[in-house]
Amino acid sequence: MAAPMIAPSILSADFARLGEEAEAVAGSDWLHVDVMDAHFVPNLTLGLPVVQSLLKATDIPLDCHLMIEDPARWAPPYAEAGAYNVTFHAEATDDPIAVAKDIRAAGARAGLSVKPGTPIEPYLEILREFDTLLVMSVEPGFGGQSFMPEVLSKARAVRKLVDAGELTLVVEIDGGINTDTIEQAAEAGIDCFVAGSAVYGTADPAAAVRALRAKAAG
Ligand code: DX5
Ligand code: ZN
């Protein structure tokens, strides 16, 4: 496996200073941007205009995690704007392949996310249409929740297919990742670790990213 990737989640950052907060984690692999619509999840965050401004403010590739209804309509514009990776939820659409194709056609990597209670088996066949699988290790909607280790079986199943050469995919995990939980996720074969409160809830976000990276590398 390649070196572990760390994606700080700006959900736990100061929304009035997003440019500086991105700058504070300049060595990160991806910057994770949680888009919530108050329908798919019971919370509301930010949308396309903020992503467009962030794209101008940072060189870190943006990893947009869309926790929204109707991704067929709303996801492609994030790719057109210049997001590096655009992930939507399997539970939010009947035609994930069509959405993935539109995201890729618009120039971004396509990601599929599954909530903790959503099994991965029904989606294994279609994962070849995706560049990223985002395994949720908390119920989507809020930062600062506790890690759910039971979701790691999904990561292990997909890791096996990637290692066997049947899929080419970044396996990403989101929710409750900190220096206590990241090792078990790394052992399950995760490539990319999202961390919100464990990065922006500390006095030194850059040091927090380094600490997470070191622990994930084992
Ligand atoms: C939750 C979001 C996460 C959140 C993670 O719905 O998708 O990206 O920022 O926050 P922590 O790392 O604090 O669990
Ligand atoms: Zn997220």
At 104-124, the pLDDT tens digits run: 999 999 999 999 999 999 999
Res 21: pLDDT:
98
Region of 114 on the Ramachandran plot (φ > 0 left; ψ -120 to 50 alpha; else beta): beta
Q: How far is the CA of 140 from the centre of ligand 1 (A)?
A: 7
Q: Nearest-5° angle of CA 131, CA 197, CA 48?
A: 50
Domains in the chain, CATH or no CATH each: 5-217 (3.20.20.70)
Helix (H, G, I), strand (E, B) or coil at 108: coil
- Just list the catalytic residues: 34, 174
Mean pLDDT of the chain: 98
Lining ligand 1 with CB less than 6 A are: 9, 11-12, 32, 34, 65, 138, 140-145, 174-177, 194-198
Compute the distance between CA of residue 17 and CA of residue 23 in angstroms, rounded to an integer.
10
Cα 140 from chain centre: 11
Q: How far is the CA of 80 from the centre of ligand 1 (A)?
A: 24
Average pLDDT, stretch 126-143?
Answer: 98
Q: ipTM exceeding 0.95?
A: yes
Query: Which ligand 1 atom is nearest residue 11's CA?
Result: 9
pTM value? Answer: 0.98
At 153-186, the pLDDT tens digits run: 999 999 999 999 999 999 999 999 999 999 999 9
